[in-house]
């Protein structure tokens, strides 16, 4: 569990600024050279309550591979405005950039079942929750199944950076894994024991067979998104 986040909903702190320099860094550097994130001060103000903490399921083994995230956020309108649930001074494009920038900084943090913090490690839902809380001040439900139920359904062809992608890795009936969509069919996630936060492709055999759909968190879904 991430210290200081228990019982909070959408957090009111302004996300860290992410501009051209950040995107230039992300798109010009090899993935293996990106820095490992060091925890920032916790956000504070709560707006929407969330469910009680619970342990999320563990993902299955995945095929290792290196992919290049060369297009983090592309061709999105700069004048899109956020709903009151998020910082109204920040465009939806900036929100998506902040999410991806934070997620990329957490690459190579090891998988730990029930992990909620980079100092101890992440499981899949813990990683996603940490990114949303610390990048844009938005608190998500506790596990992948709850996150799937809470979001707005997004067609695969309409997915955008920051949307959540879900998988059924323990049979066809339940959601058991979640990641954050980047672009071009790629997503970043904390896969399973023995691995670390990494980028994978939705088109790879393992993930393609287990893909359950994409969702947009409710607070983001309220945004008038023209991008």
Residues serving a catalytic function are 124, 177, 189
Which of 99, 153, 160 is CA-nearest to residue 127? 99
Which of 181, 205, 179 is CA-nearest to residue 191? 179
Q: How far apart are CA 164 and CA 37, in angstroms?
A: 21
Q: How far apart are CA 125 and CA 142, in angstroms?
A: 7
DSSP category for residue 202: T
Is residue 190 within 8 A of residue 197, CB to CB? The reply is yes
- Give the distance, in angstroms, between the CA of residue 194 and the centroid of all CA atoms in the same chain: 20
Q: How far apart are CA 79 and CA 68, in angstroms?
A: 28
Q: How far apart are CA 221 and CA 217, in angstroms?
A: 6
Q: Which residues contact 34 (CB under 8 A, 6 or more apart)?
A: 26, 104, 105, 107
Residue 187: both structure tokens together: 């997503």
| Residue keyed to tokens 């955008």 | 160
């Amino acid at each position: 569990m991430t210290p200081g986040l228990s019982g909070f909903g959408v957090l009111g702190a302004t996300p860290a600024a992410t501009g051209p320099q950040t995107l230039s860094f992300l798109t010009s550097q090899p993935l293996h050279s990106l820095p490992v994130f060091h925890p920032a001060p916790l956000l504070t103000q709560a707006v929407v309550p969330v469910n009680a903490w619970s342990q999320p399921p563990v993902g299955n083994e995945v095929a290792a591979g290196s992919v290049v995230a060369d297009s983090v956020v592309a061709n999105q309108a700069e004048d899109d405005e956020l709903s009151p649930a998020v910082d109204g001074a920040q465009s939806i494009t900036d929100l998506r950039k902040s999410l991806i920038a934070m997620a990329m900084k957490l690459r190579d943090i090891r998988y730990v079942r029930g992990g909620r913090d980079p100092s101890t490690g992440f499981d899949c839902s813990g990683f996603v929750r940490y990114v949303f809380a610390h990048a844009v001040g938005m608190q998500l439900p506790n596990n992948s199944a709850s996150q799937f139920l809470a979001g707005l359904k997004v067609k695969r062809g309409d997915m955008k950076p920051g949307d959540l992608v879900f998988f059924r890795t323990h049979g066809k009936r339940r959601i058991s894994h979640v990641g954050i969509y980047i672009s071009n069919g790629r997503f970043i996630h904390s896969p399973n024991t023995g691995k670390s936060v990494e980028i994978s492709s939705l088109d790879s055999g393992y993930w393609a067979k287990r893909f359950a759909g994409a969702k947009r968190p409710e607070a983001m879904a309220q945004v008038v998104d023209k991008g």
